[in-house]
Amino acid sequence: MEISQFQLDALREIGNIGSGHAATALSTLLQRRIEMSVPEVWAVPFEQISNIIGRLDAPQATIYVKVEGEAPGKAVFFFPVESAEIVVQALLGTNESRDMYSDEMAQSALKEVGNILVSSFLIALTQFSGIPLQPSVPALAVDMIGASLDAIFLEEGTLDELVLFIDTQLTGIPEIEGQFIFLPDEGSLKKLLGAMGL
């Protein structure tokens, strides 16, 4: 389906509100003031995501949540491994270096953070559309970002060709960046936009 600039602008606003929720939750969790903003939103065909995320073999921590409800889809939050490690250290209250590839405690902390971030965006989408969206238990991969994303994209369900890409910036912890992706199942994006009068 096609998506207009007007619809994209509206989605960016929703993204901003979602990131506001996420920032509040993260601030509580990490006991410091975190702010988040959404500078940019894109809707692109999956095959072109490398134009946005750059290197497909860059190591990133990817948290994947299935979205159930009337407008099902998949929601993903990912950040560079170094950023993920900083977040985990803040959460666990330590400066100790953590092996993000194998440390189970670090991974479970990361899933929790991802879960909060993803849920915050889903809550914002629900507020605007009135369509309830429930997240599944999160799954995590710390690996090449292209590999993680292609696996998510191709796993079951027919998907709309478009990927909704919400760039997020966190301030409050230095040098953290992350990105949120919503992959609507076929028809879900139309349903959401329709429910929001867009």
Q: Name the residues that contact other proteins, by CB under 8 A.
A: 46-47, 49-50, 55-59, 64, 66, 101, 136-137, 139-141, 143-156, 161
Neighbours of 95 (CB within 10 A): 8
Closest to other proteins by CB, 16 vs 136, is 136
Closest to other proteins by CB, 2 vs 156, is 156
Q: How far is the CB of 59 from other proteins (least distance, A)?
A: 5
From start to end of the chain, where are the E strands? Answer: 35-45, 59-69, 73-80, 133-135, 139-144, 162-171, 177-184
| 179 within 8 A of 38, measured Cβ to Cβ | no
Neighbours of 69 (CB within 10 A): 15
| 192 within 8 A of 125, measured Cβ to Cβ | yes
Q: How far is the CB of 48 from other proteins (least distance, A)?
A: 8
Match 């977040």 to its residue by tokens.
87
Q: How far is the CB of 171 from other proteins (least distance, A)?
A: 28
Q: How far is the CB of 33 from other proteins (least distance, A)?
A: 33
Phi, psi (deg, nearest 5) at residue 18: -60, -45
Q: How far is the CB of 121 from other proteins (least distance, A)?
A: 19
| 80 within 8 A of 59, measured Cβ to Cβ | yes
Closest to other proteins by CB, 46 vs 128, is 46
Closest to other proteins by CB, 24 vs 153, is 153
Closest to other proteins by CB, 56 vs 131, is 56
